[in-house]
A = this chain, B = another copy of it.
């Protein structure tokens, strides 16, 4: 393979570039081909202020050569000066789950508009991964990071935004659903339908929405004159132990647990759609019709929700939009703007078929 380097034998001694084009064309090659200095070529390519002083004719020759050789600057060499990589990292528990991938979809949309690429790293809950991956990502010189439902302990030297936040480090911008509003929407819907004895699923401990959402359950129940009974609440993923990993499995198991305790509830406010769908199946298996015997409401609005039987009533969490917001916020911080420490996103009630007026039983 022809090596460009060989063309420059002695400084000052111009040698016409050979016909052979190296595997990847470099600035130096272009300059030699054009009988110009790399400086000149670099200046016009990057359109720096100095480019004003270059003859129009020269510029045109340069651009023609760029076109001819399909020259593309080497980002890694550029980085050495600019320290910019136009890439960020996204940390998620598991890229395979619906929640993460919907958010990432939104993140990507916004990022690609800005010419950024992203690296995603799933830690699958492994503490070691969570601990070390910020480092290995910093090695790739990402300009910022987005933590999705992932704890960050120490402050990073780059901008960080968290979605479904469980970070404890300072200086993190947060994008969160307005959980109070979400619960309020669900509860007021159930209340309007006449439900009094409502069961609740509390989220798993490692989830960033669990605490806020549970607090909202307590507060809003009080507001609505509803009682949150211990007997009617079960936390996902704690009891009983299930090996299966999806939230739906946890929802199924949680519903079964509930049924073993009592059947005195007429509605269930689940933690999310996955657990709601699992619970619906459990109720059906136990011979309880949904929504006739028990109404079920989820949170999220997963795509399949409108195809299950009965179609799922839920509180929509605009994940795509939250992803976009996270990306926008991160880009703003990267560009040195000051941003809100926390941005709340509004949920929306989607009434379908899994909720119905309470019938006396």
Contacts and interface: CB of A to CB of B under 8 A. Distances in A.
Given A277-B304, A307-B277, A104 B98 contact: no
Contact of A248 (B100, B101, B307): B307
Given A95-B101, A119-B119, A140 B75 contact: yes
A293 B138 CA distance: 58
Given A72-B139, A277-B307, A303-B248, A119 B117 contact: yes
A104 B95 contact: yes
- Can you tell how many copies of this chain the complex includes? 2
Contacts of A122: 105, 108
A284 interface: yes
Contacts of A87: 119, 140
Q: Which of A72, A76, A284, A308 has the most CB of B within 10 A?
A: A76
A308 B278 CA distance: 9
A320 B94 CA distance: 12
A141 B95 contact: no
Interface in A92-132: 94-98, 100-102, 104-105, 108, 112, 117-122
- Chain A: number of interface residues, binned into ranges: 35 or more
A126 to B, nearest CB: 11
Given A75-B139, A281-B309, A120 B101 contact: no
Interface of A: 23, 72, 74-77, 79-80, 85, 87, 94-98, 100-102, 104-105, 108, 112, 117-122, 135-141, 157, 246, 248, 252, 277-278, 280-281, 284, 303-304, 307-309, 311, 320
26 contacts: A23-B157, A72-B135, A72-B138, A72-B139, A75-B140, A75-B141, A76-B80, A76-B141, A77-B80, A80-B80, A87-B140, A95-B101, A95-B104, A96-B320, A97-B101, A98-B101, A105-B122, A117-B137, A117-B140, A118-B119, A120-B120, A246-B303, A248-B304, A281-B307, A308-B308, A308-B309
